Amino acid sequence: MTARFITLEGGEGVGKSTQISRLSDAFTDAGIDHIVTREPGGSAGAEAIRKLLMEGSDDRWNARAEALLFAAARADHVAKTILPALERGAWVICDRYVDSTRAYQGGGGGLSDTDVMALHRIGSDGLLPDRTFLLTLAPDKAAARLSVRDVGGSDRMGSKSSEYQARLNQRFLAMAAEDPARWRVIDADDSAEQVTQHIWQELTPWLS
């Protein structure tokens, strides 16, 4: 069985953290070597940059500065965590990756996809996931989840305006439509158990 690089994407409050935890448990139960990681973060250098990105006021950085910081964090994350895991045969389950930069700083912040991907080629040699799951949820339901989450909306990304959130959701859906071989769109309005089952079913062909 070949190790695979799996990412979960989506806007704020769609349940990525819950699904990653459940997916990790399923991998453990199946005896599959894997790691769980996140962006920004996932390595010592990337975690240091995460603090710069996630803390402070909404206008601390503009979209260009954010894209540069994300690319730098990702370069360290890929070199120190993701590639070593894949090379030893472990699956990688990652909470967000370059597609979040494409959506947040691209669709939300107005940068071109060409510019974002140019930074990705420089920093991370263009590494893309084998499968990306996009969790979708109606904006009002996502907002309701955020309102009861301990840290809901408290970081810079979660505090972006509703107009910004709408733009990034549109961008996520557009990216999924442009690359159906890599992306799978999952309705996160289903129960957590059903969402996990949908994700697991998509991975089953690779698990033998």
Whole-angstrom Cα distance, residue 130 to residue 7? 8
What are the φ/ψ torsions at residue 92 (nearest 5 degrees)?
-120, 125
Least confident stretch, 45-49, 127-131, 144-148, 196-200: 144-148
What are the φ/ψ torsions at residue 132 (nearest 5 degrees)?
-120, 125
**53 with 155: CB under 8 angstroms?**
no
Residue 102 DSSP SS3:
helix
pLDDT (tens digit, 9 = 90+) per residue, 101-146?
A: 999 898 888 899 999 999 999 999 999 999 999 999 876 666 666 6
Tokens 């957590």 belong to: 192
Domain boundaries, the chain: 5-206
Pick 204 or 141 by higher pLDDT: 204
**129 with 77: CB under 8 angstroms?**
no
* Cross-strand pairs, 38: 95
Whole-angstrom Cα distance, residue 25 to residue 128? 24
Residue 59 has pLDDT above 90, yes or no: no
| Architecture of the domain delimited by 5-206 | 3-Layer(aba) Sandwich (3.40)
Residue 153 has pLDDT above 50, yes or no: no
Residue 22 has pLDDT above 90, yes or no: yes
